[in-house]
A and B are shown apart, each in its own frame.
Chain A
Amino acid sequence: MLEQYIPIGFMFIVAIIFGIVMSKLSEWLGPKNPNDVKLSTYESGMEPVLSARERVSVKYYMVAMLFILFDIEVVFLYPWAVNFRSLGLFGFVEMLVFTVVLMLGYIYLLKKGALKWQ
């Protein structure tokens, strides 16, 4: 059983060694004359203004969370869609109820301004 994995393991080791050796070789052999412009972060040709390590606005959190919440509900729609015919009207009504409940939540957050980007 495990013998089958020996070539793969071997391959892994070779790949790792190869990667390290090549990057170290270029570091040792290549010419180096750094200056300020060369060392600065590349920002698509724009002047970098501040550090990239900044706290992100909490507004992104709102959008991300709402996206995850509504996105994950699709997990229940897929099995229903696959079995749509065999579940028939019963399944349809059930899914309608499910969607209406979700919709109520959506109306709530819309009215509370959770999706406004002030």
Chain B
Amino acid sequence: MDLLTPHLLSIGPLLTLVAVALLVLLLESIITKSEPVSFWTSVAGLLVSIGIAVPGIAVHGSAFGGMLRTGGSANYFSIIFFICALLTIVFSRDYLKKRDSVFGEFYLLILFATVGMVLMAAAADLIIVFLGIELMSICLYVLAGFIRGSVLSNESSLKYFLLGAFATGFLLYGIALLYGSTGSTSITFLTEHFETYASSRLFLAGIGLLIVGLAFKIGAVPFHMWVPDVYQGAPTPVSGFMATGAKAAAFSIIIGLFAQRFVHGVQIGTLLAILAAASMILGNVVAIAQTNVKRMLAYSSIAHAGYMLTGLAAGNAYGRDGILFYLLAYAFMNLGAFGLISFMEQEGEKHLTFDDYAGLGTTKPFLAVLMSVFMFSLAGIPPFAGFFGKYYIFVGAVQADMTWLAIVGVLMSVVSVFYYLRLVMVMYFQDTLIGQTASYSASSAAFVVLAALILLGLGVFPSSLLAIITTLY
């Protein structure tokens, strides 16, 4: 048993979360009116997990025979996932009441999906990568279709499931080819011996298939087709969770694989740069044409995947730290925006178009101000955190002699201002056509305000977070 104790201690956050999830499972089975109990248990469990993960950031290590990385980036990512899960759970409670689907299983699925994400961030072996991705995805498939009576939700779920499983096939084939050509599934081994195998076609095919699978999960062009449909049909807080948590989880793997030595020597950097540019251009341009707010945010999330890929294509520490900063900021701003949309949404997927937000500035000034904060931050306007995330990433790209990519990014950010600020314009400079109703509890409102304040705080003092990020790898 002594053999096991240090391992168990070092994966504290993961273990706590699994224990909480299993506890909720048990509560769901033995208590008859279990939903409030499950809700508060999940919230408390996530807060405790964050508390355990924060001090662990400073300690780097590995556990279970090199299968898991602990501390450092793994903990940083875990904290992002815990925050995403926490916000999603808080927002979804009001939302599920509106959609007549209040079941404690929702929180359970969010928790298990988060376990999958933490596994992904901690993975030091491709087997764990696969397990984490599947644990996360399977929970998300169900979450997307959680509103059982809604055809839109069903459709979104089936589309996500079929395409997600399809992408998993490619990812797995990539893992198999990497294993076949190197004889190992250890990520550390692969990154260290990249040059040795770079001439093997089997190895390169494996890397390519792996990139296809992961690009699907982050929703980068040309593997983005599912994103708008799934985000639009899924329950609104779940869309937010997929856009932030699931994307951050996939990025944690990509960073672990490609951010260091992997990029150099071969043209993977160029490949990632092309994916990044395509995602930024398509996401931002198509987002302009949208009338549905959820769908607009879906296209904008494709664009954001592009910004983050830019940092990865740069392949230097600046770009990588920029992604880590951006992922945290993105979690707050995007989940905040999706949370507000879920407050506004009415039964039967109504009140989701731009027109429904007309005059919100006078009827519901509180919501309108918060929404404007998130839109400004998403557009990358200072002093909000979104600006600094983009700034670090584009500086990284310029330093890596990818000035063209940085220019594309900046131009596309300008394009994005158009549709983000259109929502703000509609809210403040148009008259209300219909009576607006918004339903939310005090706790959800408190969390949205908190998210907005954190965005402002990170935007004003970005260096305090950046100081932590630079110690992660």
Contact = CB atoms under 8 A, between A and B. Distances in A.
B29 interface: yes
Interface residues on B, range: under 10
A108 B3 contact: no
Nearest to A109: B29
B22 A101 contact: yes
B28 interface: yes
A32 interface: no
A108 B1 contact: no
Contacts of B25: 104-105, 108
Given A104-B29, A108-B28, 7 more contacts: A90-B4, A104-B22, A107-B26, A108-B25, A108-B26, A111-B30, A112-B29
Given A101-B22, A104-B22, A90 B1 contact: yes
A13 interface: no
- Top 3 closest A-B pairs, CB basis? A111-B29, A108-B29, A107-B29
Main secondary structure of the interface of B (DSSP, over half): helix
A91 to B, nearest CB: 11
Contacts of B1: 89-90, 93
Interface of A: 89-90, 93, 101, 104-105, 107-108, 110-112
Of A105, A107, A108, most B-chain CB atoms within 10 Å? A108
Contacts of B29: 104, 107-108, 110-112
A104 B27 CA distance: 10
Main secondary structure of the interface of A (DSSP, over half): helix
Contacts of A105: 25
B26 A90 contact: no
Given A107-B29, A108-B29, A111-B29, A90 B3 contact: yes
Interface string B1-23: 10110000000000000000010
Nearest to B27: A108
Contacts of A110: 29
Contacts of A89: 1
A27 to B, nearest CB: 44
A104 B108 CA distance: 13
A16 to B, nearest CB: 34
12 contacts: A89-B1, A90-B4, A104-B25, A104-B26, A105-B25, A107-B26, A108-B25, A108-B28, A108-B29, A110-B29, A111-B30, A112-B29
A112 B108 CA distance: 15
A107 B1 CA distance: 28
Nearest to B4: A90
Contacts of A101: 22
Contacts of B22: 101, 104
B168 to A, nearest CB: 17
Nearest to A89: B1
B141 to A, nearest CB: 15
Nearest to A112: B29
Interface string B416-451: 000000000000000000000000000000000000
A108 B103 CA distance: 14
Contacts of B30: 107, 111
A35 B30 CA distance: 61
B205 to A, nearest CB: 27
B105 to A, nearest CB: 9
